[in-house]
Amino acid sequence: MRLEHVVTAAESGRQIKTILRGAMKVSAALMRRAKTGGRISLNGADVFVTAPAAEGDILVLEVPEEPCSVAPEADEAEIVYSDEWFFALNKPAGQFTHPTGRVNTGTLLNLALSIDPAARAVNRLDRDTSGVVLFARGAWAAALGAKLDFEKEYRALVFGVPQEGEISLPIAREAPHALRRIVSPNGAPSLTRISVLETDGRASLVALRPVTGRTHQLRVHCLAVGCPILGDGLYKTPESAALSRELGITTQALHARSLAFTHPVTGGRVLISAEPEREFFKKYKL
């Protein structure tokens, strides 16, 4: 990875580390790596980060990417966004975002690495949730991506007809389960905005906008208001399970439809969207 910056008049006299951390948006961790395994140069010559810079100097940072133990796997992928620093894929339901202890092939990251060998996932989705996953092109972009404030919108098919508005219920881990979450007064504050797009009385297509980002938040909140996401094997009621079977929905009907953020490099507003591919979503107008 190579970053180049021409020192401005306002930056003249400042230490190189100040310019790296400021205008060049280099994290402290990345700067440490550059000092030990990369190169920091000023006008082509190696330089200490405490040295001052002058107007017109060309400051270059070269940081080698850390080797990735995940093997790239070429396959068909729906690329829904791409620029010099990021790209996004439409993840199918049933696919892991990252390798796990039991699965190290066939994940979305394996596929992303065949698109860019330095790819790093910025956000993630549950295995059975489909939709937009953003990847950074290298360590520098990943550090910027980690600070992004996302606006997310999901589509879900839920049991019944939920009340529109806000679901503000705290969420905690359900002991002794490692995975399952519950609504609990001792949990972390959690807020989801919900609106009904289509309904036939038994099931509804809803838009879900998480304001907070708790694990399984949307699934827990929908269950808590009596309208579990159809096909969800973990957060369900007997009635939602029966309707899921009737409709042939075997994976949770949850899709990350859009991701919006202010681009950390260009400053422009980015909106990435992806349509769901699963057949049961086509019963309702999106």
Least Cα distance to 108 among 151, 86, 78, 85 occurs for 78
Q: Which two tokens stand for residue 194?
A: 């919900």
Sheet holding 58-62: strands in order across? 2-6, 58-62, 39-42, 45-46
Task: Name 131's bridge partners.
Answer: 91, 256
Q: How far is CA 198 from the centre of its chain?
A: 27
User: Within 10 Å of residue 198's Cβ, how many Cβ atoms?
Assistant: 13
Q: Return d(Cα 114, Cα 128) in angstroms, integer.
A: 22
Closest alpha carbon to 273 in 207, 198, 192: 207
Residue 149 among the catalytic residues? no
Distance CA 251, CA 277 (A): 13
Catalytic residue among 126, 128, 200, 232: 126
Q: Answer for the pair 260, 210: CB distance below 8 angstroms, yes or no.
A: no
- Annotated active-site positions, please? 126
